[in-house]
Amino acid sequence: MQNNHKVAGAVEAAGAHPLAARQPAYPILNTLDRILAFASEVPAAILVALEILILLAGVISRYVFNSPITWSDELASILFLWLAMLGAVIALRRGEHMRLTTLVNRLPRGIRNWVQLAAQLVVAVFVLEIILPAYEYFQDQWMISSPALEIHDGLRVAAIGVGAVMMMAIVLIRLLQQAAGRQLVIALVCFAALCGVLWMVQPLFFKLGNINLLIFFVGVVAVCVACGVPIAFAFGVATLSYLALSTQTPLTIVVSRMDEGMSALILLSVPLFVFLGLLIEMTGLARAMVDFLASLLGHVRGGLAYVLLGAMYLVSGISGSKAADMAAVAPALLPEMKKRGAEDGRLIALLSSSGAMSETIPPSLVLITIGSVTGVSIAALFAGGLLPALIGALALAVVVFFHTRNEDLSGIRRASASQILKLFFIALPALALPFVIRTVVAEGIATATEVSTVGIAYTVVVGLLIYRRFDWSRIYPMLVETASLSGAILFIIGCATAMAWGLTQSGFSRLLAESMSAVPGGKAGFMVISVFAFVILGSVLEGIPAIVLFGPLLFPVARAVGIHEVHYAMVVVFAMGLGLFAPPFGVGFYAACAIGRVNPDHAMKYVWPYLAALFVALILIAAIPWISTGFL
């Protein structure tokens, strides 16, 4: 697949095989497919453009004219959920939701076809199950109006129901296109029988208590992922199954948690930075930066890999989202690194591990959240976060050194001083972009969400007036690609947020805190348990939800056993970052695969040395408090 129709080169996605469209058996299906494409892609492209204009107008109005637009963030938030859901619809239609295919591809062809059909039906079951709760949630939210514009909140959350209906239509079209009639009937009968059996034994699940956590959040997720169900839908169906079969909780809570996960305004920086990355490439800024950096380090083995680590260190925290950070860096460096012979999987391993490495770099939302829920000084957390990330970067640099020590540089010549100087002046407007973004945030001109729009405006001006490269015909495809990639990422976050709520309500968080406070070994024992626990929590819950849940419980225990709160915070954040980017459950790993357009199966085998290096760095950070507290 090429360009917009792929996620990471060979990413197998929710339907890429078998959901990727082939020539339909009936002309009507082709017509319906085109209608769905138009109904999702055109509004999504318009929404991306509107979000950019609204937030940029807010910055200009506030900073230039000293007349803030009070409703800009509110309108951006209302449109954002529609953008996220339409993007998820586009990703499903194009086959761009991330999924694993390692086990499925190893099965005999006949069995593989059945497993792939079952994966499609799991997607159908999840989408079908949320349509009615989405409608009920729409009715509940209709009574709430936004404070400035007085728009019914139901108009915003209707995006979830509309998106679910469109997804259901896409799944039905793909099933009719791909599956033989007899095979589809048999699969539907088997699925209906399985659902019936599970419903009949529902009283048994009520008696199992917390064993259900293992059954649904480990067993069901693992089986779905192994069968090639898209990651987001695997999380979603596990959560729905847990709530429906083992609790009395209404399923509308799943929709509300998905809304919460996808609607956080800070996540709006994800599509905006994705678009900024595409814009940097189209206008020539990426080429100018890469040419200059290559002239400096291109003759060094692994030179551009070191540049990637440095770039992630510098830009991290600007957007408040690891996915957005990676989206800002990857388009400028990965294409040139691939041209120089770097393997796709190894590049994604480096990109994802650099995202884990940079979790403690301020201004990190996770650090701000820790300060707000635990009372730890945010200024102290910011001061303590730089050195732990540097230790992680050095650990990754060691791995890069060994992986690239035999790199063939026979075709690479060292640039002369005059060439470097010339390329520097050419690249200067492009190199200024990160400093423009950082300055805009530091001076309070724009928020972390708005800053990407300033970068977009700067890039447009530089592309038009300085580099004189601006292909207007590419704008619409770039807007659609931005929506698709962002929707795939945000839908994972939404479903993961719902799953996190299910874990919390089970009492798992309270039980964990009680168990950790009773571990033997005092300070050292508590720290060891914390490291492993937060690696797991980071994989399942991500940073902010995990901190909100467990920070108030565990930080007092850490203080009681004599651990400095800033030191403990750095260990916790670094560990969660490691879990967030560790397959098979780490959402950050799949986000990196989507951004870098590489098959998760291909990248997974390369990521372990980098994660091992980060784990060594984590041990050092945990064992040496000065790394976190030396600059306080």
What digits encode the pLDDT tens for the residues 414-440? 777 888 888 888 888 887 887 787 678
Q: Do residues 22 and 414 touch, judged by C-beta distance below 8 A?
A: no
- 244 and 143, same structural domain? yes
Pair of tokens at residue 302: 């692994």
- 282 and 249, same structural domain? no
- Range list of H helices, 404-416: none
Please check whether residue 609 lies inside any domain of the structure.
no
Please check whether residue 85 lies inside any domain of the structure.
yes
Pair of tokens at residue 190: 């088997």
Please check whether residue 577 lies inside any domain of the structure.
no
Residue that is last in its domain, among 439, 474, 509: 474
Cα distances (Å, whole numbers) of residue 407 to 121, 300, 349, 401, 598: 46, 9, 17, 10, 21
- 279 and 244, same structural domain? no
Q: Do residues 616 and 392 touch, judged by C-beta distance below 8 A?
A: no
Name the stretches of the chain with pLDDT < 70. Answer: 1-26, 101-102, 179, 290, 294, 298-299, 314-325, 328, 332, 363, 365, 406-412, 438, 442, 448, 509-510, 512-513, 516-517, 540-546, 548-549
Amino acid at 595: I
Residue that is last in its domain, among 456, 474, 492: 474
Please check whether residue 483 lies inside any domain of the structure.
no
- 185 and 79, same structural domain? yes
Residue that is last in its domain, among 474, 497, 524: 474
- 127 and 27, same structural domain? yes
Q: How many helices (H) and strands (E) does the chain have?
A: 28, 0
- 436 and 319, same structural domain? yes
Q: Do residues 298 and 336 touch, judged by C-beta distance below 8 A?
A: no
- 198 and 74, same structural domain? yes
Cα Dmax for the chain: 78
- 343 and 205, same structural domain? no
Query: Hunting for tokens 């009949």 — which residue is that?
Result: 200
CA distance 73 to 297: 42
- 317 and 250, same structural domain? no
For residue 173, which of 131, 130, 123, 129 has the smallest C-alpha distance?
123
- 112 and 33, same structural domain? yes
Please check whether residue 517 lies inside any domain of the structure.
no
Q: What is the pLDDT of residue 407?
A: 66
Helix (H) or strand (E) holding 152: none
- 190 and 72, same structural domain? yes
Instruction: Look at the chain and report how many structural domains it folds into.
Output: 2
Please check whether residue 168 lies inside any domain of the structure.
yes
Please check whether residue 133 lies inside any domain of the structure.
yes
- 127 and 36, same structural domain? yes
Please check whether residue 489 lies inside any domain of the structure.
no
For residue 22, which of 165, 178, 154 has the smallest C-alpha distance?
178
Q: Determine the structural domain holding residue 151 and report its residue range.
A: 19-263
